[in-house]
Chain A
Amino acid sequence: MTPLLQAQALSIHFGGLKAVDQVDLTIQQGDLFGLIGPNGAGKTTFFNLLTGVYKPTSGKLFLKGEDITKISTPKRSKKGIRRTFQNIRLFKELTVLENALIAVDQKLTYNYFDSFFLTEKFISQEKTSYEKALELLSLFKLDSFINEKAVNLSYGAQRKLEIIRTLMSDPQLICLDEPAAGMNHSETKELSLLIRQIRDQFMLTVLLIEHDMKLVMGVCDRLAVLDHGTKIADGTPQEVRSNPKVIEAYLGAEVQT
């Protein structure tokens, strides 16, 4: 079976800084894959390479065997790679519902004339996207806030809304950039259950960057560890946990407790 995502010797250099250097990574369909590493290890840069924000200096990226190295961000998103952001990027002044609806845009096909004449196409497409949004919002228990501005939501709810946005248009791979940052223990627990649930329910692949070791170790099937831009370990949480290189690089006492 072709892996869902494959990175081959992916590198990006900013001048002399090798932010991501020769990283090979294979993510199988349905994986819940964790990407960890100390601060500045290049995790978010790797995400940006994956979603097309940066162009790699060298190396290749494949989505289901298809070379996507040179494809722009919106086109990658259309191919099913969706992401959240470390520093939440919601459409702050828009309502929760609008935030969700924007994410489904690429599936809508009606044009200016359909919206001008209120054609059947306009009405049915708006209706299905509204229903879809409502379904996801109620799954995440945000349906009571649909007309609230996104900026007024609590921090945890904003994170959830970002995840909803990634789910709106049936993605293949969702990349969560530190979804538990700023959440308390019970919220983190809830989130880890939720991540598993959406993976199973929507049959998608999740790539997770996280600092919260409890979340990563508990929720991920497989892990890769980055340090100074290079991959130093790869495997199941148990394997990674006992890898001396990883312990040296950063996990150390935190996991050994």
Chain B
Amino acid sequence: MKNKLKVVLMVLASISISGLVLQFSINAYIQILILQILMYSIAAMGLNLVNGFTGQFSLGHAGFMAIGAYTSAYLSQIFPGFLESTHLLGFFIFSILGGLLAAGFGYVVGLPSLRLKGDYLAIVTLGFGEILRVFLLNIETLGAARGITGIVPYPELGFLDRFWVSFFYIMIWFVVGLYFVWRLTRGRHGRQFLSVREDEVAALSLGLNTTQIKVRSFVIASFYAGVAGSIYAHLISIVSPSVFGFMMSVNIVVMVVLGGMGSFTGSIFAAAFVTLAPELLRSLQAITGYDLRMVVFSLSLILIMIYRPTGLFGSKELPDIVRSWRMKKS
């Protein structure tokens, strides 16, 4: 118990210190990119559980992010004083509510489509994402096409500016989220997910309720997406239906596939790559005069998939890879 407390305190301390270092060492543009990477990592980690571990294919993750984002945005609009008076706790409550609502939608969408074998989930989630977007586009109380603007951002605390608070807040979700899926996949639940991916008939014959297992992984993934969406809302301060379109879903799937199906650290690296690459390529535009960012970005994705078809990390995690490197060296 004492040891666990120590670990928690060390994690909190290292988050705070790295937040401080980042606050003073880099400019605001890179800061916001870092926060976005963390946010996308949370969504991608969750999706990896479905696409990588359970072997299903979800194509509507942006929809679940939208639910989390709109929940958070709408709540902070109708309870304007709540976030100011509760400091970070209020943000946590909103994120959890957003996540739970997304998980609820995940259950409703997942249950009928996951009873079937095959690619039905991809079709259903694709449809779900689009339907939700059109809904949001037409609901006046949620701002219709304008979306919700002026969402309460993360506050400042003394000499710690907005970046530090956002970093601290998102990092906590990130660390807890990563630890949860990490532990989850290294026990019976992870084995259940994998067995469904490998052979559903055999899993059934071993007494596993495969539908329940698939729905569980999908609901957890939806929760992660909802939380990521809620983080997005307060980070960017604007949510609108057009943001959570099909392209965002595809982006998250790209992160999972690029990082390696079944590798959470891979998803994180890929989230960084997918977020940073188009930004870094802006300098190319300054030289050539044409906007070649997407061309180069897509080409690099194609090349990676040709030379590393299982993704950057395969199904291995970063510590495994480091260990095998060391073994080779010695």
Report which A residues bind B (CB closer than 8 A): 51, 53, 73-75, 77-78, 82-83, 85, 89-94, 98, 101-103, 105-106, 108, 110, 112, 115-118, 122, 126, 165, 169
Verify B202–A106 contact, CB threshold 8 A: no
- Tell me, rounded to whole Å, the shortest Cβ–Cβ distance linking B218 to chain A: 15
Q: Which of B184, B199, B205, B208 contacts A112 (CB 8 A)?
A: B184
Q: CA separation between A108 and B210, bound complex, in Å?
A: 16
Verify B205–A73 contact, CB threshold 8 A: yes
Verify B194–A105 contact, CB threshold 8 A: no
- Tell me, rounded to whole Å, the shortest Cβ–Cβ distance linking A44 to chain B: 13
Verify A105–B207 contact, CB threshold 8 A: yes
Q: Using Cβ atoms and an 8 Å threshold, which residues of chain B touch A116?
A: 179-180, 183-184
Is B71 located at the chain interface by the 8 A CB criterion?
Answer: no
Q: Using Cβ atoms and an 8 Å threshold, which residues of chain B touch A105?
A: 188, 191-192, 206-208
Verify B209–A74 contact, CB threshold 8 A: yes
Q: Using Cβ atoms and an 8 Å threshold, which residues of chain B touch A98?
A: 191, 194
Q: Using Cβ atoms and an 8 Å threshold, which residues of chain B touch A94?
A: 191, 194-195, 198
Verify A110–B205 contact, CB threshold 8 A: no
- Tell me, rounded to whole Å, the shortest Cβ–Cβ distance linking A91 to chain B: 4
Q: CA separation between A80 and B4, bound complex, in Å?
A: 40
Q: Using Cβ atoms and an 8 Å threshold, which residues of chain B touch A90?
A: 198-199, 202
Q: Which of B184, B204, B315 contacts A74 (CB 8 A)?
A: B204
Q: Using Cβ atoms and an 8 Å threshold, which residues of chain A touch B158?
A: none
Q: Using Cβ atoms and an 8 Å threshold, which residues of chain A touch B328?
A: none
Verify B204–A101 contact, CB threshold 8 A: no
Given contacts A92-B198, A122-B187, A169-B207, 15 further A-B contacts (CB under 8 A): A53-B204, A75-B207, A77-B206, A85-B202, A85-B205, A89-B202, A90-B198, A101-B191, A102-B208, A105-B206, A105-B208, A106-B207, A110-B188, A115-B183, A115-B187
- Are A115 and B207 CB-contacts (below 8 A) given A89-B199, A98-B191? no
Show 21 residue pairs from A and B whose CB-CB distance is below 8 angstroms, ordered by the A residue. Answer: A51-B205, A73-B204, A77-B206, A78-B207, A85-B201, A85-B202, A91-B195, A91-B202, A92-B198, A92-B199, A98-B194, A101-B188, A105-B207, A105-B208, A106-B207, A112-B189, A116-B179, A116-B184, A118-B183, A126-B187, A126-B188
Q: Using Cβ atoms and an 8 Å threshold, which residues of chain A touch B202?
A: 85, 89-91
Verify A110–B206 contact, CB threshold 8 A: no
Q: Using Cβ atoms and an 8 Å threshold, which residues of chain B touch A75?
A: 207
Interface size for B (C-beta < 8 A) is 26
Q: CA separation between A135 and B186, bound complex, in Å?
A: 21
Residue of B180, B183, B184 contacting most chain A CB atoms (<10 Å): B183
Q: CA separation between A116 and B184, bound complex, in Å?
A: 7
**Chain A residue, CB-CB nearest to B199:** A89
Per-residue A-contact encoding for B297-310, CB less than 8 Å = 1, 0 else: 00000000000000
**Chain B residue, CB-CB nearest to A101:** B191
- Tell me, rounded to whole Å, the shortest Cβ–Cβ distance linking B179 to chain A: 7
Per-residue A-contact encoding for B8-38, CB less than 8 Å = 1, 0 else: 0000000000000000000000000000000
- Are A102 and B195 CB-contacts (below 8 A) given A51-B205, A77-B205, A82-B205? yes
Per-residue A-contact encoding for B195-227, CB less than 8 Å = 1, 0 else: 100110111111111100000000000000000
- Tell me, rounded to whole Å, the shortest Cβ–Cβ distance linking A75 to chain B: 8
Q: Using Cβ atoms and an 8 Å threshold, which residues of chain A touch B315?
A: 93
Q: Using Cβ atoms and an 8 Å threshold, which residues of chain B touch A102?
A: 191-192, 194-195, 203, 206, 208
- Tell me, rounded to whole Å, the shortest Cβ–Cβ distance linking B115 to chain A: 12
Q: CA separation between A94 and B202, bound complex, in Å?
A: 13
Q: CA separation between A98 and B208, bound complex, in Å?
A: 15
- Tell me, rounded to whole Å, the shortest Cβ–Cβ distance linking A191 to chain B: 20
Q: CA separation between A105 and B190, bound complex, in Å?
A: 11
- Tell me, rounded to whole Å, the shortest Cβ–Cβ distance linking A101 to chain B: 6
Residue of A105, A110, A126 contacting most chain B CB atoms (<10 Å): A105
Per CB-CB distance, the 10 closest pairs between chain A and chain B, nearest first, are: A77-B207, A91-B198, A89-B202, A115-B187, A106-B207, A73-B204, A102-B195, A78-B207, A74-B207, A108-B188
Residues of chain B in range 77-121 having any CB-CB distance to chain A below 8 Å: none
Q: Using Cβ atoms and an 8 Å threshold, which residues of chain B touch A51?
A: 205
- Tell me, rounded to whole Å, the shortest Cβ–Cβ distance linking B180 to chain A: 6
Q: Using Cβ atoms and an 8 Å threshold, which residues of chain B touch A169?
A: 207
**Chain A residue, CB-CB nearest to B179:** A116
Q: CA separation between A100 and B12, bound complex, in Å?
A: 39
Residues of chain B in range 262-320 having any CB-CB distance to chain A below 8 Å: 315
Q: Which of B187, B191, B194, B206 contacts A165 (CB 8 A)?
A: B206
